[in-house]
Amino acid sequence: MRGLPLVALILAGCATTSMPQTATAPLVAATAETDPVDTAADAADDPAIWRNPADPAKSLVIGTDKKAGIHVYSLAGKRLSFTPADRLNNVDLRAVGTRVIAAASDRANVDVAHVSLFTLDTAAARLVPLGRFPVGPGEAYGMCLWTRARDHALFGFVVLKDGRIDQVAIDVSGTVPKVTTVRSMKLASQAEGCVVDDRTGLLYVAEEDVGLWRFDADPAAPGTPTPIAQVDGKTLVADAEGLALAPSGRRGGYLVVSSQGDNAYTLYRLPGVTYAGRFRIGGGAIDGTSDTDGIDLMLGDFGPAYPGGLFVAQDGDNAPDTQNFKFVSWTAVRRALRR
């Protein structure tokens, strides 16, 4: 400690358990919430949004129950269907031709990571299983999808619990889907949340106790991560969990992350990934959220309740009921942050 000023020397010798004061986070009320999941304790995990282009108010939200299966909800939060499955964790979806494909990280085998694929039957509001596919050794955790702009090829990123990220090519053109691992990348510790910007081909990953990283999503690119935001106990509090995007124009918009350690959501402005504010969910007739794992966000018209977009967050404490998902108007978020 040679060379430190006297005040720093005094503070260095004083043990403290206090956390730095977190940055301001205004409350935004939830507009709706889903029916609770069927299983207790840490069960609900990650949502994904499908926007109905013909009738946005009839859009759907998918949500995992990592102890039982996967749900499909209406925008009123009513459970429309349930597909049993063992230990699905994170879920994402993309349109492939005329179909909507959902992919989930499958933790049923903790020694070999798998991806479970589904088709979303939008008319019946249910998920139809397409199969389970091995990815590589280890326990699957996070999951996100990417549609490559130049050829519309579909890729998935499976974030394993030890920080490895396996990229898979997903081919659903045949009778039986093909899932092929094309490269692996690595972070030093536990990671989960991820999202890919289809416009730019950039993958964002949350290393829970460290911060956010960016990768080039193309499988031919180097797998070197670039640090973009740090868990600092003020603007982003460990665990850093789910990630979502609010795109604007060719490269702009916001990256949103669940700041699980203080029950908030942090925004970073794109493309430079600069801190842009935070918010919490609460203050309305519906209870707020806490300990959020997965989030999703989609801009556009979702009907009168969500004219500028829909934000969905898992609620880790929905007592006295089991966990569920909360729906928030993105217009209300922007108004609260004056963005």
Q: 99-106 and 112-121: which strand pairing?
A: antiparallel
pTM of the shown model: 0.93
> pLDDT of the chain along its 339 residues, tens only?
333 333 333 223 333 334 457 999 999 999 999 999 999 999 999 999 999 999 999 999 999 999 999 999 999 999 999 999 989 999 999 999 999 999 999 999 999 999 999 999 999 999 999 999 999 999 999 999 999 999 999 999 999 999 999 999 999 999 999 999 999 999 999 999 999 999 999 999 999 999 999 999 999 999 999 999 999 999 999 999 999 999 999 999 999 999 999 999 999 999 999 999 999 999 999 999 999 999 999 999 999 999 999 999 999 999 999 999 999 999 999 999 998
Residues 21-337, CATH architecture: 6 Propeller (2.120)
Phi, psi of 60 (to 5 degrees): -125, 155
Q: Is the dihedral of CA 39, 42, 48, 49 positive or negative?
A: positive
Domain segments of the chain as ranges? 21-337
Q: List the alpha helices (DSSP H) in the chain.
A: 6-12, 330-337
Nearest to 106 by CA among 61, 136, 71: 136
pLDDT for res 221 = 97
- Say if residues 63 and 325 touch (Cβ distance below 8 Å): yes
User: How far apart are the C-alpha atoms of 242 and 90, rounded to whole Å?
Assistant: 9
Which amino acid, residue 58? K
pLDDT for res 20 = 53
